[in-house]
Structure formats: structure tokens, C-alpha cells
Structure 1
Amino acid sequence: MKSIIESVREYFLDCPYLEDDVRLNIDFLGDKPLEYGIYTEPINPIIKRYVDGDELKQFGFIFTTRNYMSGDLVTQLENSAFFDDLIEWIQEQNYMKVFPILEGDRHPTKLEIVTNGYLSSADTGSSQYQIQMRLVYMEVNNG
């Protein structure tokens, strides 16, 4: 069965704001721009257990980028604007009920944005931005 993080990665590959020739890594981000990465977050996966055995669950993750950085205001604004566009795309997908496709008896209900995109580190020549999210889904236990 496909992992949730693999499904999340495939979901983001459809985002029109990601550059086509740029890698989208799992739990890795290189030190040279431009790269994207998805990291799992330590989070209690169970939100609620129901008497019939079904569970409302969550998968926490960080979407991060390694971008070019300079003292040029245009570059800084472009880096920040990427996350504005990404958030808008996610909200549109939620409205249309387009979520990562999960296998088994797992049914996504929303992709929630936990933080805005923010600068997490910067060096001369590159910067790392990230946004925290969580995928909420119902897991049906037919037992």
C-alpha cells in the first residue's frame, strides 16, 4: 500500500506553481537552489476514535523550498509570493474536494494550512522557506 507521504508528494506534483524540472524530495532538501521537499512532522495521528472503530486521523507535514536569495527586492518578493500562490491553490483544491489520493480505507476530508509560508533560514545565495500543513482523513476500520 502506498504511504501517505507518497500520496501527498503526488498531489503536489500537480501544482502549477512548482517548476517542472525541479525535484520534489521526501525528508530531504539539498543545499543548492532550486529544490522542494516534504518532511513529516511529529504529530499524534489520531484526532478522534469512534465507537464503531473508525478513526479521524491527521498527517502533519512541512512543504519546504530551497530558493535563490539575494539583496534584490524582486527575488525576495518572488520567493514570498510563491507561498501565496501555493496557499491559494490548496484552498481551491479543498473547495473542489481534490485531495491526495489515499489507498485502503482512508478517505481525506481536508488539507489544512497550519502556518503561512515563512523564511526558516537564509544564507548568501540561498534561502529556505516552509509552510506547515496537515492532511485530515477518515480511516474506516471494518473490523
Structure 2
Amino acid sequence: MNVIKSVQAWLEGFTGLEFKSFQEILTDFTEELPSSYALAPAGNSKVTEDIMGNRTYQNSYILYAREPAGNEVDRAENYDFLEALNDWIEEQDDKRNYPQLPDSRKVESITVSNIMMFGVDDNGSAVYQIQMQLIYTKRSN
């Protein structure tokens, strides 16, 4: 399993609200109809390397959520869902309950930096995005 699949599996552990939770998180693109979710890489970089060869990386991801947005009630519920997900990610970070990464990688933190509407389709669905940062260390052998 690679890093993005590990993060997807971890996010699928979010039970959501009574009316909304994840069934499956796709890679890169959502399906055309709501409700659909996808996780896309949005950049990565090596942050540090110590004298033992252990490297720390920062991976950025965008979680896209396609949801109905035809009226104010829908849009308010969408933000309730996104805020609940943000709170869940913060709680998991506080508890150090992280995705299980492959090989010798160990998560240091996972945070949310932004939640916003990305766009609206002609069919009345909206795509929201949650920008996240995953910091992990890859131990040298």
C-alpha cells in the first residue's frame, strides 16, 4: 500500500454525521454525481534529513467532496459535514492516531489548512475541498 492509499483508508474511518459519511474515497477525481469523494496529491517536499539519513517529508493533499448544493439547507449541511471532518482530523492528530504508512514511514502530524467551495456544476452539485498536510519521517535502514 502506498502513502495516498493509507491516507484514504484512514479517512474512511471518519463516521461522519448521522446523515453523511464516506463510503469510498477515490483517487484524484470524484464521480459526476453526489455524494462522491476523492483524494488528490497537491505537492510534496523533503523538509529535513538528519545525520542518520532519516528524512522528513511534507505531503499536501486535497480531499474533494462532491455534494448536492441546490439550496441553502444543502450548503449548510455540507459545511456541517466538512467542519465535522476537520474536527475529527484534529482529534486524531491530538491522539496521534494516524494513517498506517508503508515501510519505515512514521506520521508526525496531519493537519487541515483550508476548507472551501471549489466550484458548482450545472447539475446543482458543488465540489468542496479540504486541504491537508501530512508530515512523516522515513527511517533509513
Question: TM-score with structure 1 length normalisation?
Answer: 0.90
Q: What whole-Å deviation, never above 9, does each CA across 1:40-83 have from its counterpart, x for those lacking one? A: 11232x0111111111112211111000011x221110011111
Identity %, equivalent residues:
25
C-alpha deviation, 1:23, in angstroms: 3.0
User: Contact (CA 8 Å) 2:28, 2:41: kept in 1 or not?
Assistant: yes
TM superposition outliers: structure 1 runs of 4+ over 2 Å: none
C-alpha deviation, 1:27, in angstroms: 1.3
User: Contact (CA 8 Å) 2:12, 2:24: kept in 1 or not?
Assistant: no
Which residue of 2 is the match for residue 29 of structure 1? 30
Letter in 1 for 2:101: L
Q: What whole-Å deviation, never above 9, does each CA across 1:68-100 have from its counterpart, x for those lacking one? A: 011x22111001111110010001111111000
Which residue of 1 is the match for residue 72 of structure 2? 73
Report 1:1-143 matches (<5 A). 2-17=1-16, 19=21, 22-44=23-45, 46-70=46-70, 72-115=71-114, 117-124=115-122, 125-142=124-141
| Gaps in structure 2 of 5+ consecutive residues | none
Secondary structure of the residue that 2:96 maps to in structure 1? coil
C-alpha deviation, 1:19, in angstroms: 2.5
Partners in 1 of 2:99 and 2:35 — Cα distance? 24
Task: Count residues in correspondence.
Answer: 137
Partners in 1 of 2:37 and 2:103 — Cα distance? 27
C-alpha deviation, 1:35, in angstroms: 0.2
Letter in 2 for 1:120: F
| Gaps in structure 1 of 5+ consecutive residues | none
Secondary structure of the residue that 2:103 maps to in structure 1? coil
Letter in 1 for 2:12: L
Question: TM-score with structure 2 length normalisation?
Answer: 0.91
Letter in 1 for 2:65: T
Q: What RMSD over aligned residues (CA atoms) do the two structures have, in Å?
A: 1.3
